[in-house]
Amino acid sequence: LDDYPGALSDLNKSLELNPSYHYALDLSMDIEFDKGTTPSYYSAISYGLRALESLNQNDPDRVMINRRLGESFYNLDMYDKALEYLTEADTQSEGKDKFWDARIDLYLGETYMQLDSLSKGRNFFKSAMDLNGIEDAWIPYSIGFNYQYKLEDYNEAIKYYNQAVEIDA
Protein backbone atom coordinates (compact mmCIF):
# COMPACT_ATOMS: atom_id res chain seq x y z
CA LEU A 1 0.00 0.00 0.00
CA ASP A 2 3.09 2.26 0.07
CA ASP A 3 2.25 3.22 3.66
CA TYR A 4 5.79 2.96 4.98
CA PRO A 5 5.21 4.96 8.17
CA GLY A 6 2.23 2.72 8.94
CA ALA A 7 4.24 -0.39 8.17
CA LEU A 8 7.10 0.74 10.42
CA SER A 9 4.59 1.50 13.17
CA ASP A 10 3.13 -2.00 12.92
CA LEU A 11 6.60 -3.55 12.83
CA ASN A 12 7.62 -1.57 15.91
CA LYS A 13 4.56 -2.93 17.72
CA SER A 14 5.70 -6.44 16.78
CA LEU A 15 9.16 -5.64 18.11
CA GLU A 16 7.68 -4.36 21.38
CA LEU A 17 6.14 -7.81 21.84
CA ASN A 18 9.25 -9.67 20.67
CA PRO A 19 12.39 -7.49 20.33
CA SER A 20 14.31 -10.23 18.52
CA TYR A 21 11.62 -11.08 15.94
CA HIS A 22 13.93 -11.24 12.95
CA TYR A 23 11.21 -10.95 10.28
CA ALA A 24 10.08 -7.61 11.73
CA LEU A 25 13.70 -6.50 12.00
CA ASP A 26 14.39 -7.60 8.42
CA LEU A 27 11.34 -5.80 7.02
CA SER A 28 12.17 -2.67 9.02
CA MET A 29 15.69 -2.80 7.62
CA ASP A 30 14.35 -3.02 4.06
CA ILE A 31 11.95 -0.10 4.55
CA GLU A 32 14.69 2.09 6.02
CA PHE A 33 17.10 1.12 3.24
CA ASP A 34 14.55 1.95 0.56
CA LYS A 35 14.17 5.48 1.93
CA GLY A 36 17.68 6.12 0.58
CA THR A 37 18.82 8.76 3.07
CA THR A 38 21.90 8.83 5.25
CA PRO A 39 19.91 8.53 8.50
CA SER A 40 17.79 5.72 7.07
CA TYR A 41 20.90 3.74 6.05
CA TYR A 42 22.12 3.97 9.64
CA SER A 43 18.71 2.84 10.83
CA ALA A 44 18.77 -0.05 8.35
CA ILE A 45 22.15 -1.09 9.73
CA SER A 46 20.80 -1.01 13.27
CA TYR A 47 17.85 -3.22 12.36
CA GLY A 48 20.08 -5.55 10.35
CA LEU A 49 22.59 -6.04 13.14
CA ARG A 50 19.78 -6.82 15.56
CA ALA A 51 18.33 -9.30 13.06
CA LEU A 52 21.67 -11.08 12.73
CA GLU A 53 21.91 -11.39 16.52
CA SER A 54 18.55 -13.16 16.58
CA LEU A 55 19.52 -15.82 14.03
CA ASN A 56 21.70 -18.88 14.41
CA GLN A 57 24.85 -19.07 12.30
CA ASN A 58 23.34 -21.47 9.75
CA ASP A 59 20.07 -19.63 9.12
CA PRO A 60 19.69 -18.97 5.38
CA ASP A 61 18.14 -15.54 6.09
CA ARG A 62 21.60 -14.34 7.11
CA VAL A 63 22.59 -14.14 3.43
CA MET A 64 20.03 -11.48 2.57
CA ILE A 65 20.53 -9.56 5.80
CA ASN A 66 24.30 -9.47 5.27
CA ARG A 67 23.74 -8.37 1.66
CA ARG A 68 21.51 -5.49 2.74
CA LEU A 69 23.97 -4.52 5.49
CA GLY A 70 26.75 -4.47 2.90
CA GLU A 71 24.68 -2.28 0.59
CA SER A 72 23.87 0.08 3.46
CA PHE A 73 27.52 0.49 4.40
CA TYR A 74 28.39 0.94 0.72
CA ASN A 75 25.87 3.76 0.39
CA LEU A 76 27.47 5.43 3.40
CA ASP A 77 30.90 5.20 1.69
CA MET A 78 32.06 2.77 4.38
CA TYR A 79 33.58 0.36 1.88
CA ASP A 80 35.60 -1.79 4.30
CA LYS A 81 32.46 -2.54 6.32
CA ALA A 82 30.50 -3.10 3.11
CA LEU A 83 33.12 -5.61 2.00
CA GLU A 84 32.91 -7.42 5.34
CA TYR A 85 29.16 -8.00 5.13
CA LEU A 86 29.01 -8.66 1.39
CA THR A 87 31.82 -11.22 1.71
CA GLU A 88 29.89 -12.90 4.52
CA ALA A 89 26.75 -12.99 2.36
CA ASP A 90 28.76 -14.48 -0.51
CA THR A 91 30.32 -17.08 1.79
CA GLN A 92 26.99 -18.07 3.33
CA SER A 93 25.14 -18.29 0.03
CA GLU A 94 24.69 -21.83 -1.15
CA GLY A 95 24.25 -20.89 -4.81
CA LYS A 96 20.54 -21.70 -4.83
CA ASP A 97 19.39 -18.27 -5.95
CA LYS A 98 21.41 -17.09 -8.93
CA PHE A 99 19.55 -13.78 -9.10
CA TRP A 100 20.72 -12.72 -5.63
CA ASP A 101 24.11 -14.40 -5.95
CA ALA A 102 24.70 -12.32 -9.09
CA ARG A 103 23.66 -9.17 -7.22
CA ILE A 104 25.98 -9.99 -4.30
CA ASP A 105 28.86 -10.45 -6.74
CA LEU A 106 27.93 -7.18 -8.47
CA TYR A 107 28.00 -5.32 -5.12
CA LEU A 108 31.32 -7.00 -4.25
CA GLY A 109 32.74 -5.88 -7.60
CA GLU A 110 31.56 -2.32 -7.04
CA THR A 111 33.00 -2.30 -3.52
CA TYR A 112 36.37 -3.58 -4.69
CA MET A 113 36.36 -0.88 -7.38
CA GLN A 114 35.84 1.77 -4.71
CA LEU A 115 38.73 0.26 -2.75
CA ASP A 116 40.91 0.38 -5.90
CA SER A 117 41.21 -3.40 -6.08
CA LEU A 118 40.44 -3.31 -9.76
CA SER A 119 41.33 -6.89 -10.65
CA LYS A 120 39.17 -8.25 -7.83
CA GLY A 121 36.37 -5.94 -8.91
CA ARG A 122 36.58 -7.18 -12.49
CA ASN A 123 36.59 -10.80 -11.29
CA PHE A 124 33.39 -10.26 -9.33
CA PHE A 125 31.82 -8.47 -12.30
CA LYS A 126 32.63 -11.50 -14.46
CA SER A 127 31.13 -13.81 -11.83
CA ALA A 128 28.00 -11.65 -11.64
CA MET A 129 27.59 -11.88 -15.41
CA ASP A 130 28.18 -15.64 -15.40
CA LEU A 131 25.53 -16.11 -12.72
CA ASN A 132 23.14 -13.64 -14.32
CA GLY A 133 22.96 -15.13 -17.78
CA ILE A 134 20.22 -13.18 -19.53
CA GLU A 135 18.04 -12.58 -16.49
CA ASP A 136 18.60 -9.09 -15.12
CA ALA A 137 19.55 -6.03 -17.20
CA TRP A 138 20.62 -4.23 -14.02
CA ILE A 139 23.76 -6.37 -13.75
CA PRO A 140 25.38 -5.42 -17.09
CA TYR A 141 24.09 -1.85 -16.80
CA SER A 142 25.76 -1.41 -13.40
CA ILE A 143 28.98 -2.98 -14.62
CA GLY A 144 28.94 -0.67 -17.65
CA PHE A 145 28.41 2.28 -15.34
CA ASN A 146 31.49 1.27 -13.32
CA TYR A 147 33.60 0.87 -16.45
CA GLN A 148 32.45 4.26 -17.70
CA TYR A 149 32.81 6.34 -14.54
CA LYS A 150 35.32 4.52 -12.34
CA LEU A 151 37.67 3.09 -14.97
CA GLU A 152 36.97 5.43 -17.88
CA ASP A 153 37.04 2.39 -20.16
CA TYR A 154 34.34 3.51 -22.57
CA ASN A 155 34.61 0.59 -24.99
CA GLU A 156 34.06 -1.90 -22.18
CA ALA A 157 31.22 0.24 -20.81
CA ILE A 158 29.49 0.22 -24.20
CA LYS A 159 29.82 -3.57 -24.36
CA TYR A 160 27.99 -3.94 -21.05
CA TYR A 161 25.41 -1.29 -21.85
CA ASN A 162 24.63 -3.14 -25.09
CA GLN A 163 24.16 -6.38 -23.13
CA ALA A 164 21.74 -4.58 -20.80
CA VAL A 165 19.75 -3.32 -23.78
CA GLU A 166 19.63 -6.82 -25.28
CA ILE A 167 18.27 -8.26 -22.03
CA ASP A 168 15.76 -5.47 -21.58
CA ALA A 169 14.51 -5.54 -25.17
Mean pLDDT over 33-61 rounds to 95
Task: Tell me the pTM.
Answer: 0.91
Give residue 42's Cα distance to chain centre.
15
Instruction: Look at residue 47 in the predicted model and tell me its pLDDT.
Output: 96
Query: Residue 169: is its pLDDT beyond 80?
Result: no
Nearest of 112, 143, 113, 111 to residue 125 by alpha carbon: 143
Q: Report residue 22 CA to chain centroid gap.
A: 18
Q: What is the mean pLDDT of the chain?
A: 94
Query: Do residues 91 and 65 lie in contact, with contact meaning Cβ atoms separated by under 8 Å?
Result: no
Listing DSSP states for 52-115 in one string gives: HHHS-TT-THHHHHHHHHHHHHHHTT-HHHHHHHHHHHHHH--S--HHHHHHHHHHHHHHHHHT
Q: How confident is the model at residue 132 (pLDDT cuts 50, 70, 90)?
A: confident
* pLDDT exceeds cutoff 80 at 168: yes
